[in-house]
Amino acid sequence: MHSRLHFHILQLPWHQAKEEAMALRTEIFHREQGIALELMSDEQDPDALHFLLYLEGDKLPSGTARMLANGRIGRVAVSQPLRGQGLGEALMRYLHDIALQLDLEATHLHAQQGSLPFYERLGYRPQGEPFVEAGIPHQAMQRPVAPANAPIEFTAVQEGPRPIIKAPSPEDYQPRATRPADDPVQTDASLGSTGAIAPLKELDQVIDHIAALIAQADEQVFIYAPTLNPQLFAHPKVLDAISAAARRNPFSRVQILVSEISAMVKQHHPLLQLQQRINSLISLRCTIPAYPLDSHALVLADDCGWLELVDDNPLCLCGNFNDGPRVKQWRERIKYPWNHSVIPQDIRQMSL
């Protein structure tokens, strides 16, 4: 699990961002990737919105990006030592929020081939055929801007005339031990302390425990459900818990794996609709026959809690809210099915 980094993002005009943005671009695109120095800037920079990400206490930025008036995003870069810690995703989510404020219909970009999985996780879909740009294979990609009723939420603060967005600080981040329940569920199970729970067979108990486990996660939620049983995963308590978990902080991650999705799309499953509204925060993928996952349903929270539906007719749910070794075993089991899973074509069509 990533250590929690605190940072802020500045939106600046080119004349204020130029020196530091160019230093980052040169470090990453020129020195690392060998792109010609004269391509570090172009005639569109003066008219673009520029963004610099600073770690708390740092005087120099660790990330940069720009966005044109038509929603074209580019020059996205994070310093090499800090990659893989969620900063790139946080920066992109901020740009998506700006695009929403500007009433843009979509954002689009040219992604290097090696970055396609990163942008797909953020909801981008390929457009057209791959091409070569600056000597590197690229793919045009597009992402619809989230509707106004489902903005990507971070705490915005103001410093002078420039908008800033900050990651949760120790003052406004609530770990599970102190976080109040928005809609209390009927269970005393506590993630990280309560041990094994007795097998549950009543629908209300099953729903309450699934919602409680997800709601108490600090950063990571994984759900596997072959058909996203609507009795469970379309229930308002579970949907609210998933939505809150996805938005909790810049490092939050909700991953959903299914076996078949066409029926869910036809039925307008509420969880699919939620995923489409905040598809940069919730990843949904489909297993392939070569890498199945043998379970009726499974929910993992952070590195310590799990629930498994051992029978769905009749319902029977088992689990443990404080079982790190078992969660580790589960994560090893799901690693290959998840890594070889695909974004369902039906979801791709819904996204465009």
Confidence of residue 186 (pLDDT cuts 50, 70, 90): low
Q: What are phi and psi of 248, to 5 degrees?
A: -60, -45
48: its two tokens: 């673009």
| 6-17 pLDDT per residue, tens | 788 888 899 999
Confidence of residue 167 (pLDDT cuts 50, 70, 90): very low
| 260-307 pLDDT per residue, tens | 888 888 878 889 888 878 777 888 888 888 888 877 899 999 989 999
Distances (CA, A) of 91 to 13, 78, 261, 298: 17, 9, 31, 31
205: its two tokens: 């108990």
Which residues lie closer than 8 Å to 147 by C-beta, 6 or more apart?
Answer: 277
Cis peptide before 13 (omega within 30 of 0): no
Q: How many residues does the chain have?
A: 352
Q: What stretch of H or E contains 349? A: helix 345-351
Are 219 and 253 in contact by the 8 Å Cβ rule? The answer is yes
113: its two tokens: 């081939």
Strand partners, 11: 51
Confidence of residue 64 (pLDDT cuts 50, 70, 90): very high
Which residues lie closer than 8 Å to 60 by C-beta, 6 or more apart?
Answer: 20, 23, 54
Report d(CA 279, CA 21) in Å as an integer. 28
- The mean pLDDT value for 315-342 works out to 89
Of 176 and 80, the one with more pLDDT: 80
Report d(CA 179, CA 277) in Å as an integer. 25
**Which of 121, 90, 118, 92 minimizes the C-alpha distance to 107?**
92
329: its two tokens: 């075993």
How many Å from the N-terminal Cα to the C-terminal Cα in the chain? Answer: 32
Q: Which domains does the chain have, with CATH numbers?
A: 7-166 (3.40.630.30), 196-351 (3.30.870.10)
| 89-118 pLDDT per residue, tens | 889 988 988 888 788 889 999 999 889 999
* pLDDT, position 146: 58
> Kind of pairing, strands 282-286 and 305-312?
unpaired
CA geometry: angle 282, 5, 96, nearest 5 deg: 40
Of 182 and 238, the one with more pLDDT: 238
Stretch among 39-43, 117-121, 279-283 having the lowest mean pLDDT: 279-283
Report d(CA 278, CA 150) in Å as an integer. 7
**Which of 146, 143, 76 minimizes the C-alpha distance to 106?**
143
Of 76 and 148, the one with more pLDDT: 76
